[in-house]
Structure 1
């Protein structure tokens, strides 16, 4: 008889700081965390490695854990045949990136949970994602996979090694494309060099993938793609690109009204399973909310004032739900939450029946208005499993139970529904157990949250924007105190005893942006100085041949240190770094930083020209470096003398504006620089406004 989770001795994951790893600490699998103990055992015993990679908010990771890793027989076979290693992909994105690439090469697809079989010297020879415990729908059972992979290594050792070596070389070529990029850049088909004048064509290429009815890009599943939306915003602003502006605003509206956005408690879910933004995959990620907030703030300060409430609701969600007592920001919320029987159900916390709405709101007429506005109808209790069709969902007996506006219904009047939604939030909090939160703090995501808070404060979101400033400054203090180390520099996660994970390239890039955002709005010189220190650390630890490696030598990343130029849910590390250098060049009046940023763009240019959707972050960085960024310098004897004028300037919804106060005993002088050209100094800031207002003409650049 096997031990129950309550009586079974915990495995080696019990002492981990990662909530995801601790979720596996009471399983019968003899799990190791990634580290010397596991890797040395594999070599010593000449035993293959079973590597399992996932993250706390991953629904299918939980499914495979319950079905297979908690099964005593499957766990016995895992322990007998392999050295079993668990990795939290958010703690070690470099390990995940290497073996995720191997899985994609082998199978044509990737995802999580990621299951990879390695030789003792870490060469991958078989990989997949979710495996059911028994054969199902054409998928082999996990037990079959275990036996086949162990037998292949035992009986066909040389063949397995040769295949693994070929796969490892292919992985290395994908992860470090610098040689291939340099060759293409110098080849006869290189074409013209990078220039921001090509931005309009890039936006047009992105709009070819746009969903003109539902907003966003492509079909189901539908992700926010915040970096692509930010590129449309930039082109609309600078070049007056009407189609880019219209699609941006359509997408922001549809996401904000649909089930992607938690209408009751605020915050965006990760994606929807349908193209209409109706039925979410219910996990909530810190980075999605942090990246979307500035877009909603600027839209709310510009053509769509109604969208400012969405920014405020997302920021309030971040402060109320994701902020930790010490000022750090947690990573994510799970998709699953306990149902009435205590067992996890996907999205249970967010789903509503008409009866529950009436019980929560207490007013029959107001309850009916909520149900009518959000498409909650009779029979909705079983309708969640019926995913939204490809056409616009409408009012029916099978209305979805999530609270999101259904296209075709009268648009909700949120002013009228505000009290009803507040009562539903209170009802939900007292009657349901919330999803589990991953309390791990990741430096890059934490920095994105700081930037979002600064955007909310700068844009005057919510009733008390000053609290966003306080939270942003407290978040930066947390970063300085808990996420830096004297010998390792910036860290990826807070240190855990002797275990220290140095920062990755995106940690550095997003932290530099957060420091510069705080400098822009406070004019406290220390933030600029800290941004410079971080930039120099990154240059020393990560720069190579004009681009930035994802990891440093201290990470000992397997097989290869990647050079990442592709956007994922966040802008690519090289894109964020290039943009950060453009800002540093302006703030410091130092062309060294401009040259660093341009080197990144020049290296990536052959790929950027052909693959706009995957490199939107690099296109925005190119615009920052080539005239798209506005920099205001004001000379004044005292900051207080110009603070109100600076506040008015910063309230403009400009997508790339930085400012600097220069103490000077003379009279006040304002100067605006656009890229590498500066306008004549002015005595009054109002003279700059015509340059900082959005371009409203056709597709030509502003004068």
Structure 2
């Protein structure tokens, strides 16, 4: 075979490489059969379309005729989009971290035709420099070894594969509050009191850490936890991490002050951050947080939303070959776009100076502006002019894949936005995205596909797809009380239990029991840039138990939280979303059933959100469907008129009340 086969793929990342002189294969049986037939080791390269260093390695090596010739001669080259195949990425990233102590993208793996890795690394320059191994030297050395000392490579591959496939030794542990206290101590130890965030640069937003700190603050009366979260939220939104002109957050900050980001914007970051700022607004009623939420969600609805309501993956950091060039300004450029008065206002407000703050130009920011949360009303119109100018100045690459898990996170954020802010456009957007998944990504039997693009749904859904989407449906149910959301969430939880659950050791595997078998079957628990599927599954199971009262969900939730607590023992701060699910289990909660003759009572959604009630709504229209999901509701009679509210706390139920104001007084 002497051609690049990526041209037949749908992934924008793979298509970016479709015209390389490298004879790339996509991951699949055809590639592995070819490697065995041609007796070649495999060169595996894993990345994603908005990855800056992936672009650099492509320009330096994969577009280079000399490097391509060596790859084509001595290796079978495979390209993988990590966002389409998180299972492949997880397995070989674990290899890289085990062998090198670190990881990242592009991920570079050398392995046998049987998928057993014998070398792992990340970005490689074409030639060795500054003590860093070059791609050419590595490939030449491995080519020689493959031909003359292959046993050495095969033995290494066998040993590494055996190590990676070994089951984890985590012991289940009873969840307790001590785990939460220890996590807060760890956060306190690494907290940057001046600039917010934790540890040194680079700094990542990691929204679920902040969600946990706010939840802990509320449950334990711990103002310092809220302070750590708020300081971080404020400083992130003041810095260049937040796009002050167009809204939305970049991936992470390269410096400790949140000024200079890595400029790619990802859907999952913006979904989780919007959810977190909504939580902060709900707890503090500080309008600054509301503005950040609205500008973030409006950015997503404007720039990352497809024609049928689906959400795209993200936007690139590079424009015209320059990282971040799209976002940078000089005073002279601002003056050419705006009037003198507008230019003066913008430059003063956002710190645009002649000396610049990033490679001679300026990232607009509010870090030196003491009035950052008292914006003059005319500034919005000035921003809009620069936004429109920026759109025409250059074009950012957009990865227009639709990923089930990431769309689910945005549905969850939009559903919460409706509950907190009352804006129906957010609920409408959440419902449209849910409809898109049901019509284009879910199969008739309820199984999910992982990715959709250009009319094609592909790749077996993995744990994150099921867990995140089930969570999104529960968040959406709390916004519109549509019983089909609850029914679908129950169905997804059943699918998780059937296809992903480890009956012997507890926890959920990343891949289903009928999916493609790799050299290892990962079970991810650590909450990284996104929470792990296991952590979100824990939250889903606890909420299903609280809502349905079903023993099967109580039992499974208990086992899952014990598994998560065991995993979190050594470093609980790395499991903050798992700790959120543990909080829901350990602390008192309130459940309510509203039985209505008249549809959703005005104010019920807001009351439930403000008081964190697990609320069910039964009407004549949804009675049969609700009974399927929540059998005990069969015994609640629908009144001929009006409403009845049944409030329960810690397993004890009060007598029903029939007026929302009376319910408020009870609460």
Q: Could you say what secondary structure the match of 1:549 adopts? A: coil
Q: Could you say what secondary structure the match of 1:489 adopts? A: coil
Please say if residues 547 and 563 of structure 1, whose CA atoms lie closer than 8 Å, have aligned partners that are also in contact.
Answer: yes
Corresponding residue of 2:565: 605
Residue in structure 1 matching 2:354, options 362, 375, 378: 378
User: What RMSD over aligned residues (CA atoms) do the two structures have, in Å?
Assistant: 2.2
Distance 1:46 1:631 in 2: 63
Post-superposition Cα deviations, 1:378-403, rounded to whole Å, max 9, x if no partner, equal 132xx523xxxxxxxxxxxx6x6111
**Aligned-residue offset at 1:499:** 7.9
Show the 5 A alignment for 1:532-611: 532-545=490-503, 546-611=506-571
Post-superposition Cα deviations, 1:624-665, rounded to whole Å, max 9, x if no partner, equal 22335543322333324xx2131331452x6x5432113421
Corresponding residue of 2:313: 331
Post-superposition Cα deviations, 1:489-533, rounded to whole Å, max 9, x if no partner, equal 111113889984111101101110111122111111111111111
Post-superposition Cα deviations, 1:409-454, rounded to whole Å, max 9, x if no partner, equal 5536324322221221122123x12310000111000111111111
| Residues paired across the two proteins, number | 643
Q: Could you say what secondary structure the match of 1:514 adopts? A: helix
**Aligned-residue offset at 1:196:** 4.1
Please say if residues 195 and 626 of structure 1, whose CA atoms lie closer than 8 Å, have aligned partners that are also in contact.
Answer: yes
Residue in structure 2 matching 1:670, options 645, 651, 654: 645
Q: Could you say what secondary structure the match of 1:615 adopts? A: helix
**Aligned-residue offset at 1:210:** 1.5
**Aligned-residue offset at 1:594:** 2.1
Corresponding residue of 2:163: 170
Please say if residues 441 and 457 of structure 2, whose CA atoms lie closer than 8 Å, have aligned partners that are also in contact.
Answer: no
Distance 1:691 1:573 in 2: 37
Residue in structure 2 matching 1:660, options 608, 616, 620: 616
Post-superposition Cα deviations, 1:301-335, rounded to whole Å, max 9, x if no partner, equal 34112210110111101100000112211111110
Show the 5 A alignment for 1:106-505: 106-173=99-166, 176-177=167-168, 180-182=169-171, 185=172, 193-196=174-177, 198-303=179-284, 304-338=286-320, 344-362=321-339, 364-380=340-356, 383-385=357-359, 401-407=362-368, 410-411=371-372, 413-416=374-377, 417-430=379-392, 432-460=393-421, 465-486=423-444, 489-494=447-452, 500-505=458-463
Distance verdict in 2 for CA 1:495–1:370, change over 3 Å: closer
**Aligned-residue offset at 1:141:** 1.6
Distance 1:135 1:360 in 2: 45
Distance 2:224 2:653 in 1: 30
**Aligned-residue offset at 1:269:** 0.4
Please say if residues 201 and 253 of structure 2, whose CA atoms lie closer than 8 Å, have aligned partners that are also in contact.
Answer: yes
Please say if residues 3 and 23 of structure 2, whose CA atoms lie closer than 8 Å, have aligned partners that are also in contact.
Answer: no
Please say if residues 184 and 573 of structure 2, whose CA atoms lie closer than 8 Å, have aligned partners that are also in contact.
Answer: no
Distance verdict in 2 for CA 1:231–1:675, change over 3 Å: farther
Corresponding residue of 1:639: 599
Please say if residues 210 and 217 of structure 1, whose CA atoms lie closer than 8 Å, have aligned partners that are also in contact.
Answer: yes
Q: Could you say what secondary structure the match of 2:466 adopts? A: helix
Distance 1:488 1:157 in 2: 46
**Aligned-residue offset at 1:595:** 1.6
Please say if residues 467 and 540 of structure 2, whose CA atoms lie closer than 8 Å, have aligned partners that are also in contact.
Answer: yes
Matched, 1:102 2:95: yes
Matched, 1:619 2:579: yes
Q: TM-score, normalised to structure 2's length? A: 0.92
Distance verdict in 2 for CA 1:306–1:691, change over 3 Å: farther
Post-superposition Cα deviations, 1:610-631, rounded to whole Å, max 9, x if no partner, equal 2112111111111122335543
Flag as ranges the 4+ runs of structure 1 deviating above 6 A: 495-499
Post-superposition Cα deviations, 1:36-64, rounded to whole Å, max 9, x if no partner, equal 11011112222100000000010000000
Distance 1:564 1:683 in 2: 46
Please say if residues 446 and 492 of structure 2, whose CA atoms lie closer than 8 Å, have aligned partners that are also in contact.
Answer: no
Distance 1:326 1:248 in 2: 35
Corresponding residue of 1:518: 476
Distance 1:488 1:23 in 2: 33
Q: Could you say what secondary structure the match of 1:52 adopts? A: strand
Unaligned runs of 5+ in 1: 1-8, 339-343, 386-397, 693-703
Please say if residues 242 and 249 of structure 2, whose CA atoms lie closer than 8 Å, have aligned partners that are also in contact.
Answer: yes
Distance 1:414 1:434 in 2: 29
Please say if residues 402 and 453 of structure 2, whose CA atoms lie closer than 8 Å, have aligned partners that are also in contact.
Answer: no
- Does 510-519 or 657-666 show the bigger shift? 657-666
Distance 2:409 2:442 in 1: 17
Post-superposition Cα deviations, 1:177-206, rounded to whole Å, max 9, x if no partner, equal 2xx113xx4xxxx7xx21246433432332
Post-superposition Cα deviations, 1:219-243, rounded to whole Å, max 9, x if no partner, equal 1001001111110111112222100
Distance 1:220 1:228 in 2: 17
Distance verdict in 2 for CA 1:347–1:674, change over 3 Å: farther
Please say if residues 94 and 557 of structure 1, whose CA atoms lie closer than 8 Å, have aligned partners that are also in contact.
Answer: no
Distance verdict in 2 for CA 1:563–1:264, change over 3 Å: same
Distance 1:153 1:613 in 2: 44
Distance verdict in 2 for CA 1:10–1:316, change over 3 Å: farther
Distance verdict in 2 for CA 1:56–1:668, change over 3 Å: same
Please say if residues 502 and 554 of structure 1, whose CA atoms lie closer than 8 Å, have aligned partners that are also in contact.
Answer: no
**Aligned-residue offset at 1:550:** 0.2
Unaligned runs of 5+ in 2: 620-637
Distance verdict in 2 for CA 1:690–1:384, change over 3 Å: farther
Distance 1:665 1:19 in 2: 54
Corresponding residue of 2:634: none
**Aligned-residue offset at 1:357:** 2.0
Distance 1:628 1:181 in 2: 28
Please say if residues 203 and 231 of structure 1, whose CA atoms lie closer than 8 Å, have aligned partners that are also in contact.
Answer: no
Q: TM-score, normalised to structure 1's length? A: 0.87
Corresponding residue of 1:46: 39
Distance verdict in 2 for CA 1:496–1:548, change over 3 Å: farther
